[in-house]
């Protein structure tokens, strides 16, 4: 078991979570809670596969995945923003609809066979950095590098640009933003759409890069929900989200790889000799999500940090409150 191999693969797996988490951060920062991430990811993964099967072009597939998931997200946007329904229930509904749609439209895709996958690159020079180079810049899918760019870009956009300030305003105090002439309703639609596109990108990252193929609901196996948990852990900050995502990716990889060797650190490997104990390893990512949520929630209570103040609340012009 080689630590660099696990961490290298962990970064790739973490990239899935990274896209989904940053997408959800943008939506939630605008004040819209979207619990449909898992469904949007499945739609993204499915439509990416469909496109590749039909046209053989993975780049086109990425685009289609993002648009498909973005369009799906607008169902939630209309119901939550315009119809002012409960965002929790609406997000759950979107999730079920996304799962069901991708199952029906993805029928037969699991037999798709050899596919045109996204290319992988090794970055010259950077990959020569001892230890880190092998983990971060060697034989990675192009999506991983897109992820590296997205982290600072999202942070800079939210914290240092004018549209980013508007984003924070409509999530914290939409009435004031509205008074300043910011179109709260339209912008919330935009950020839910962007969140959907990133979830679709996350789905396409699974089916075209990290674990290629279509395995119906098992394609995402809870990544969308882990991403929603990570948003809370990250306290709506893209950089913390990246740390959480990569840590989770490494954990997932470690679970797979720890069952292979006969001995670990000179001791008999219990997971090799008693393979069924692996089921307890499989629980770890989900238990970790809960642990991470507890940590995030406690920290938020102590520091009096919180979610965006208007998160989950519809904005109605002229009504009192946020």
Partner 1 sequence: MSGPESTPRRRSWRFPIELRLEPRGAPPRWLGAAVTLGAVILGLLLGAIVLSAAGGDPWRSYAYMVKAAFGEVGVLSDTLVKATPLILLASGLCLAFTMKLWNIGGEGQFFLGAFGASAVVLTPMLPPETSPWLMIPAMVIMGMLAGAVWGFVPGYLKSKFNVNEIITTLMLNYVAVNWNNFFIFAVWTEGGFQMSRKFPQSAWLPRLTDYAAQYPQLRGLTLHLGLAFAIVAAIVMWWVIYRSRWGYEVRLTGDNPRAARYAGINIARNTVLVLMISGALAGLAGVSEIAGVVHRLQGSISPGYGFSAIIVAWLAKLNPLLVIPVSVLFGGLIQAGREIQPSGVPKMLQGIILVCLIASDLLMRYRVRFMRRLREE
- Contact residues for partner 1 (CB under 8 A)? 35, 39, 75, 78-79, 83-86, 88-90, 92-108, 162-163, 166, 181-183, 186-187, 190, 216, 221-222, 225-226, 228-229, 232, 274, 276-277, 279-280, 282-283, 286-287, 289-290, 293-294, 297-298, 300-301
**DSSP per residue over 154-204, as a string?**
HHHHHHHSHHHHHHHHHHH-HHHHHHTT--HHHHHHHHHHHHHHHHHHHHH
Q: How far apart are CB 294 and partner 1 at their closest, in Å?
A: 5
Look at residue 129 and give its three-state secondary structure. Answer: coil
Cβ-Cβ contacts under 8 Å for 295 (sequence gap 6 or more): 233
Nearer to partner 1, 93 or 123 (CB): 93
Q: Please name every residue paired with 267 in a beta bridge, in sequence order, or none if there are none.
A: 264
Q: How far apart are CB 295 and partner 1 at their closest, in Å?
A: 9
Q: How far apart are CB 293 and partner 1 at their closest, in Å?
A: 5
Q: How far apart are CB 228 and partner 1 at their closest, in Å?
A: 6
Six-digit token pair at 307?
């979610």
Q: How far apart are CB 271 and partner 1 at their closest, in Å?
A: 12
Give the phi and the psi of residue 257 in degrees, each rounded to 5. -80, -20
Backbone conformation region of residue 247, classed left if phi is above 0, alpha if psi is from -120 to 50, else beta: alpha
Q: How far apart are CB 142 and partner 1 at their closest, in Å?
A: 27
Nearer to partner 1, 142 or 256 (CB): 256
Give the phi and the psi of residue 86 in degrees, each rounded to 5. -65, 125
Nearer to partner 1, 85 or 112 (CB): 85
Nearer to partner 1, 95 or 141 (CB): 95
Look at residue 141 and give its three-state secondary structure. Answer: strand
Q: What is the dihedral of CA 65, 66, 72, 77, to 10 degrees?
A: 170
Nearer to partner 1, 98 or 200 (CB): 98
CA atoms within 13 A on the CB side of 7: 12
Q: How far apart are CB 104 and partner 1 at their closest, in Å?
A: 4
Q: How far apart are CB 284 and partner 1 at their closest, in Å?
A: 9
Look at residue 263 and give its three-state secondary structure. Answer: strand
User: Which H or E run includes 102?
Assistant: helix 87-105
Query: What CA–CA distance (Å, rounded) separates 277 from 217?
Result: 24
Nearer to partner 1, 88 or 239 (CB): 88
Nearer to partner 1, 167 or 201 (CB): 167
Nearer to partner 1, 144 or 227 (CB): 227
Q: How far apart are CB 179 and partner 1 at their closest, in Å?
A: 13
Six-digit token pair at 221?
């196996």
Cβ-Cβ contacts under 8 Å for 221 (sequence gap 6 or more): none
Nearer to partner 1, 132 or 274 (CB): 274
């Amino acid at each position: 078991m080689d630590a660099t191999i696990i961490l290298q693969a962990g970064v790739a797996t973490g990239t899935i979570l990274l896209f989904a988490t940053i997408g959800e951060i943008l939506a939630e920062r605008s004040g819209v809670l979207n619990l449909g991430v898992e469904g949007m990811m499945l739609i993204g993964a499915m439509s990416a596969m469909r496109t590749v099967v039909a046209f053989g072009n993975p780049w086109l597939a990425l685009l289609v995945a993002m648009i498909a998931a973005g369009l799906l997200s607008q169902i939630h946007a209309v119901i939550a923003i315009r119809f002012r329904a409960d965002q929790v229930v609406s997000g759950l509904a979107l999730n079920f609809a996304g799962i069901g749609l991708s199952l029906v439209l993805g029928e037969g895709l699991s037999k798709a066979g050899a596919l045109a996958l996204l290319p992988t690159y090794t970055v010259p020079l950077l990959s020569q950095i001892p230890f880190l180079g092998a983990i971060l810049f060697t034989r990675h899918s192009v999506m991983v590098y897109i992820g590296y760019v997205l982290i600072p870009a999202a942070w800079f956009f939210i914290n240092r640009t004018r549209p980013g300030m508007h984003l924070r305003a409509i999530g914290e105090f939409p009435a004031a933003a509205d008074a300043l002439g910011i179109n709260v309703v339209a912008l919330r639609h935009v950020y839910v759409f962007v969140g959907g596109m990133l979830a679709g990108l996350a789905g396409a990252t699974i089916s075209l890069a990290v674990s290629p193929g279509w395995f119906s609901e098992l394609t995402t196996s809870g990544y969308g929900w882990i991403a929603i948990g990570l948003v809370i852990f990250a306290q709506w900050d893209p950089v913390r989200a990246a740390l959480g995502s990569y840590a989770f990716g490494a954990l997932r990889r470690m679970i797979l790889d720890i069952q292979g060797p006969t001995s670990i650190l000179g001791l008999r490997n219990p997971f090799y000799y008693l393979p069924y104990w692996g089921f307890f390893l499989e629980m770890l990512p989900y238990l970790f999500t809960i642990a991470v949520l507890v940590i995030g929630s406690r920290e938020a209570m102590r520091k009096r940090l919180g979610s965006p103040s208007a998160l989950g609340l519809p904005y109605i012009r002229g009504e009192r409150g946020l």
